[in-house]
Amino acid sequence: MLVLGDPLSLVANLREQTKPLIAEGNHALFDECTHRQDFPGSPHHDTKAIFLRWAPHWTPESIFDSTESIDYPGAKQLPAHYALAYRICHMIGATEWGRVMVVKMKPGGRIDQHWDGGAYAHHFDRFHLCLQGDEGNRFTCDGATVAMLPGELWWFNHQLPHSAHNDSPNERIHLIIDAQVQQYRARRLGEQSWQ
């Protein structure tokens, strides 16, 4: 896992970016599409997501094996977050961007240990920008644990076992961006020598 650069320069006012996500009226945006957390055995059962870009179809083949991503209604509902994801892709040198979502984890919630497989996961790398989070948030990947704090942009190898716990009284909110970036792809593939 790596924390990257100074993303706060991209998020001029982190509080302003987060307000629309925690405002009373916008909680419904997180309930418009619940497939990710609701499918049986989902490791994401304590999360909710707003999809800005995602797979063209909600089929296992499309989700795991298609590298195509399309804009979802969330891109128009949260244009500042969509633009922020695009700017981050430019900043990190992405040659292609994939799926983008805003994900919140409830207080006391967890994401069970899992790893991402299929052609999609092999094609893209995973980046997290923490929009809201407290010291009680823990993210673990391949045995290493970190606290992802507001304004920090992280890369991690999503094809290795990873999990998260929100041991805080507040929701954890991340902007999750999948992008193809050669330097991180090379690092990720080098870390998979155990497979």
| 38 within some domain | no
Tokens standing for residue 86: 């695009």
| 112 within some domain | yes
| 39 within some domain | no
The pLDDT of residue 71:
98
Q: What is the pLDDT of residues 23-53, one digit of tens each?
A: 554 568 899 899 999 989 999 999 999 999 9
CATH code of the domain in which 104 resides: 2.60.120.330
* 26 or 153, greater pLDDT: 153
Q: What is the pLDDT of residues 162-183, one digit of tens each?
A: 999 999 999 999 999 999 998 8
Q: At 151, which helix (H) or strand (E)?
A: none
Write down the pTM of the prediction: 0.90
**Using CA of residue 45, residue 49, residue 54, residue 56, what is the dihedral sign?**
positive
Total domains, the chain: 1
**Domain containing 61: what range?**
2-33+44-190
* Cα–Cα distance, 103 to 44 (Å, whole number): 10
The pLDDT of residue 108:
97
Q: What is the pLDDT of residues 84-135, one digit of tens each?
A: 999 999 999 999 999 999 999 999 999 999 999 999 999 999 999 998 888 8
| 62 within some domain | yes
What's the Rg (C-alpha) of the chain?
A: 15
The pLDDT of residue 188:
83
| 85 within some domain | yes
Query: Three-state DSSP class for 146?
Result: strand
| 105 within some domain | yes
* 4 or 34, greater pLDDT: 34
